[in-house]
């Protein structure tokens, strides 16, 4: 791993992916060079996310659009009992190849909250998307993979990479808010069969509703 300063400011964060490796960076003000703020770029030899999966489905953007309800997850925020009924909402953006990405949940007090961002699809690997936050979250970037999709049944499995603030993980999502258990178990079985997801599979739990 290398650490090196870069500029011209702490609010920029560079990231570039190659076929074999991903460069991960975090912009943070760590000092001042003359009058110019500088930051640190962290370059790590991290396998690209799709290398975890021997075979990935072809994914069209339209097959993801709409609402998906998270049923099982490893994501800590959905497992504390303070944030309920999380859902993922994907939509088209006029004159833009990106998807809008809105995560919605309900607090214990009954207040609805949202986390907004944008998704860019990898043109060479259609199951791979890159999320970037909106507004103050624009510095945060994460990759996610649709490793399983049954559009007819309305169920999918999603793997997401870690960020400086959140761990990597897995979501099993469905179109229906209250699907039959057999549907959830079918996606759970697909997840269990992927050896590279074994450490995450053991932590897969139902969300709080």
pLDDT at residue 20, as a whole number: 33
Residues of the chain with pLDDT under 50: 1-46
Please tell me the distance from the alpha carbon of residue 90 to that of residue 44, in angstroms, as a whole number: 30
> Which domains does the chain carry?
2-47 (no CATH), 52-206 (2.40.128.20)
- pTM for this one? 0.78
Distance CA 175, CA 160 (A): 19
**Would you tell me how many other CB atoms lie within 10 Å of the CB of residue 40?**
16
Q: Is 78 left (phi over 0), alpha (psi -120 to 50) or beta?
A: alpha
How far is 157 from 196, CA to CA, in rounded Å? 14
Contact 127, 56 (CB under 8 A): yes
What local confidence, expressed as pLDDT, does residue 193 receive? Answer: 96
pLDDT at 6: 37
Read off the tokens for 111.
Answer: 């207040």
pLDDT of residue 130: 96
Residues in a beta bridge with 36: 33
Is-contact 6 13, C-beta < 8 A? no
Helix (H) and strand (E) counts in the chain: 3, 15
Q: What is the pLDDT of residue 31?
A: 38
Quick check: 4 and 40 in contact, CB under 8 A? yes
Residue 23: the pLDDT is 35
Give pLDDT, residue 47. Answer: 59
């Amino acid at each position: 791993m290398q650490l090196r300063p870069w500029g011209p400011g702490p609010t920029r964060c560079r990231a570039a992916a190659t076929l074999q490796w991903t460069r991960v960076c975090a912009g943070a003000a760590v000092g001042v060079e003359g009058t110019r703020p500088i930051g640190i770029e962290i370059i790590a030899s991290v396998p690209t996310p799709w290398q975890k999966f021997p075979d990935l489905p072809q994914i069209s953007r339209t097959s993801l659009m709409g609402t998906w309800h998270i049923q099982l997850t490893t994501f800590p925020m959905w497992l504390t009992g303070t944030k309920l009924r999380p859902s993922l909402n994907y939509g088209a953006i006029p004159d833009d190849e990106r998807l809008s990405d809105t995560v919605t949940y309900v607090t214990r007090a009954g207040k609805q909250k949202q986390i907004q961002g944008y998704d860019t699809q990898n043109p060479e690997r259609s199951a791979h998307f890159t999320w970037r936050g909106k507004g103050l979250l624009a510095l945060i970037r994460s990759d996610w993979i649709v490793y399983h999709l049954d559009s007819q049944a309305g169920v999918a499995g999603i793997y997401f990479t870690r960020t400086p603030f959140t761990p990597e993980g897995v979501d099993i999502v469905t179109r229906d808010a209250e699907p039959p258990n057999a549907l959830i178990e079918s996606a759970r079985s697909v997840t269990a069969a992927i050896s590279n997801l074994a450490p995450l599979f053991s932590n897969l739990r139902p969300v709080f509703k």
